[in-house]
Chain A
Amino acid sequence: MSKRKPAEEYHKTFAFHFFSWLRGEKDPYLGNVEMKPQKEYEPDPELHLRHEKEHDAILDKVYDMKHNRALGLFHRLYQATSILFCLFLMALLLVTISHLPATGAAVKPVNNEVAARYIESGLEETGAVNIVAGMILDYRAFDTLGESHVLFVATITVLIMLRLDKNKKGEPNPLTKDMNPNDRIYEPKNDAILQMVASFLVPIIIIFGIYIILNGHLGPGGGFSGGAVIGAGLILYLNAFGFGKTERFFTEKTYKWICFFSLSFYCLAKSYSFYTGANHLHSIIPKGTPGAILSSGLILPLNIAVGLVVACTMYAFYAMFRKGGF
C-alpha cells in the first residue's frame, strides 16, 4: 500500500488480472468470442458502411499477392509441401510396385479362376467372341450400367452449367447473360475446303463408327468407342456446315428422346437379366451362334443403345460448349 503504481502499469500486472478474475470482472467471452456481433448490436448504417469499407481495405491488403509477404510465404510453403508430398507419394508407390507380382508372368494372383472362367466358358455363357465385351456387358453388367449413368449425369451437369435458357417472359437469365451464345458467328463460314473434305469424310467416319458398334461383340470396340467415333463425325459435320444444317435433324428434343429410349432400354433389359439371374429363372433371350452378327444375347442391342447415347452425348457436349444449346 505504501507505493502505489500508476493505474496503467497496475493494469498490466498479474495481481490486477488475478483480482479482477476473483471479483468476476473478467469475462470469458470478452474480446474473444462474442464481441464481434455484439458490437453491431444496434446497427448504425453509417458505421456499418465504414466497417465494410475498412473490411474491404483489409481484404485488399491481405489478398494483394505481390506485396503481402506472409501470403507469399504461405504460398511457397504450400508449394514446397505439395512437391514433397508428391515426391513422397512417388517413392512410396515405387517401393510398393517393387514388391508387386511381376508383370507379364502367367502365374500370379490376378490370373486366377475368375479370368480362367471368363476365357474358357465366356463364349458359351455369353455368346460373345470378344471376351472383354462379354465380361463388361454380361458378367459385370452392373458396373457398366453405372458407367453409362455416369455419362448421363455428367451430361446433366453440363446442361445445368452451359444451357442458356430464357425464363417465362422470354428474357435471358441474368446469371448467364455474360455468356456468348454462339461464337461461331465470328468465324469464316462456308469454308470450301473444309466442306469438301467433310462431305467426303463424315460418311466414312459414321459408317466406321456404326461398324465398331455392331461388331462390338465380335472384335475390338463396342458401344462406347463406336459412339465416340460417330460423335466425332457429327462434330466435324457441324463445324463444316454450321448449326443450321444439323438442327434440321438433330435438336435437343431428338437428343432427349434418343437418350431416354436408349437408357430405358438398357435399364429394363439389364433389370430383366439381373432379376432372372438372381431368382434363378431361365432367361428367354437366345444366345445365338457365336461369331454371327445376331448373336450373344443382349450384348448387341445393348451396344447399340450405348452407342446411340454416347454419340448423342458427345455431340451434345460439343453443342453445349459451343453455343449453349442445340
Chain B
Amino acid sequence: MTAFQIILMGLLIICAVSVSFSKNLLNSVLIYMSFSLVMSLLWICLESPDLAITEAAVGAGITSVLFFVTLKKIHAINVAEKEEEQKATQRNLPENGGKDE
C-alpha cells in the first residue's frame, strides 16, 4: 500500500506544479480535476471513505463543472486560433478598456 501511496503523492505534486505552469486555462482546470481524483484515491488508502466520496463528488465533480462554466463565461474555452485572437485583444485592452466603459 505504501508504494501506491507514494506514487499517488508524487502524482499530486506533479499535478500541482503543472497547474502552475500550464499556459492554457482549460488544461489547468483539467489537471486540477485529476488532482482531485488522485486526492480521493489517496483518501481511500488512508481509510477515509467518507472523504473520498465527498471529494470525488465535489472536487472532481461540482467544483470542476463550476470552473468550466466560468471559463465558458469568460470565453476561455475556444479553439486555438480564437485563443490567439483573444490574447491579441487582451493585450490591446489597456488602451481601449477605459473608453469602452
Contacts and interface: CB of A to CB of B under 8 A. Distances in A.
Interface of A: 63, 130, 132-133, 180, 183, 212, 219-222, 224-225, 228-229, 231-232, 235, 314, 317-318, 321-322
A220 B50 contact: yes
Contacts, number: 48
Interface string B42-77: 000000011011100110011001100110110000
A183 B65 contact: no
B62 A231 contact: yes
Contacts of B62: 228, 231-232, 314, 317
B65 A235 contact: yes
Contacts of B69: 318, 321-322
B62 to A, nearest CB: 5
Given A212-B53, A224-B54, 9 more contacts: A133-B50, A183-B73, A219-B49, A220-B50, A222-B54, A228-B58, A317-B66, A318-B69, A322-B69
B66 A225 contact: no
Contact of B57 (A63, A180, A228, A318): A228
Kindly name the residue among A133, A228, A231, A232 whose own CB sees the greatest number of chain B CB atoms within 10 A.
A228
B61 A221 contact: no
B12 to A, nearest CB: 15
Interface string B30-44: 000000000000000
Kindly name the residue among B54, B57, B70 whose own CB sees the greatest number of chain A CB atoms within 10 A.
B57
B4 to A, nearest CB: 15
Kindly name the residue among A212, A220, A222 whose own CB sees the greatest number of chain B CB atoms within 10 A.
A220
A11 B9 CA distance: 71
A37 to B, nearest CB: 26
B19 to A, nearest CB: 15
Given A183-B72, A232-B57, A222 B50 contact: yes
Contacts of B57: 225, 228-229, 232
Contacts of B53: 212, 220-221, 225
Contacts of A212: 53
Contacts of B65: 232, 235, 318
Contact of B70 (A130, A219, A225, A321): A321
Contacts of A133: 50
A220 B54 CA distance: 9
